Amino acid sequence: MKDKKQKKTGCYQIKRLHFSADENRHPWLPMLLNAYYIVDKGIDEAIKAELKTGRQLACSKGCSHCCKTHQTIPVYPLELVGLSWYVIEKIKNPFRERIKAQLRNYIENEACPFLVEGACSVHPMRPVSCRQFNVFGKPCAEGEDPYYTRREDVLSPIKKYTDRAFFLMLPFYGVEDEDQRWKIIGSGAVHQVVKLMQTCNWKSLAEKMEEFEGNSYKTQV
């Protein structure tokens, strides 16, 4: 994996991930990675604007309250495809078996099945909703969802970046015409396909992981 575009700032690291061979095989992957890159640039700009006012970002490495407590994390079909691909083909041991077990045994509304030892195991491919959720001021209390308890401390994404990201994703759903894509975004119809992370059939992903491992073994022998 080679990162060709990278920008470092005082609060966020911006980079467009590259999986060259996989992007050649999967036409949907470049559009998803481009969309995430746009989202990340927007987050960086929004965070820097808040820091200039003297506010402090509460989120830090090792904090995973939102992964444990949030029960309405939206995820879009293209993002689910990206997550599935990353988990099936890119996740290695020692965490692969742990993730597979968590997916197989997942119970609705439990902590995110990709949370391993307090860290996101799919961080490069985490959904837009996860990328954009940032909290200022004090860290979240155990079980707190600050979106409902102190909305003023939750980062408000910059709309032009979010809209552009969804614009780049829409060809995955068969919408190629640019004018039509902007109309869909403007009407909010793009959000009609959203699912919730906590209600997805993660057991089937564990099965696909095992199927991939079986096929890989057959190729090697």
- Give the per-residue pLDDT at 94: 86
Say what the pLDDT of residue 156 is.
94
Is the overall model pTM greater than 0.75, yes or no? yes
- What band does 49 get if pLDDT is binned at 50, 70 and 90? very high
Domain containing 178 equals 5-220
What average pLDDT does the segment 73-78 reach?
95
Query: What is the average per-residue pLDDT within 70-76?
Result: 89
Number of domains present in the structure of the chain: 1
pLDDT score recorded for residue 220: 58
**Mean pLDDT value of segment 153-173:** 97
Q: What is the structure's pLDDT at 69? A: 85
Residue 1: pLDDT band with limits 50, 70, 90: very low
Q: Is 79 exposed, middle or buried (0-12, 13-18, 19+ CB in 10 A)?
A: buried
pLDDT digits (tens, 9 = 90+) for 82-138: 999 999 999 998 899 999 999 999 999 899 999 998 899 999 999 999 999 999 999
pLDDT, mean of residues 167-175: 97
The residue-averaged pLDDT of 65-82 equals: 92
Name beta bridge partners: 6: 15
Question: Which carries the bigger pLDDT value, residue 203 or residue 1?
Answer: 203
**More confidently predicted of 2 and 36:** 36
Per-position DSSP letters for 43-110, written without gaps between them: HHHHHHHHHHTT--B---TT--HHHHH-S--EE-HHHHHHHHHHHHHT--TTTHHHHHHHHHT--TTS
Residue bearing the bigger pLDDT, 4 or 118: 118
Q: Read off the pLDDT of each residue in 203-216 and give the average, rounded to a whole number.
A: 92
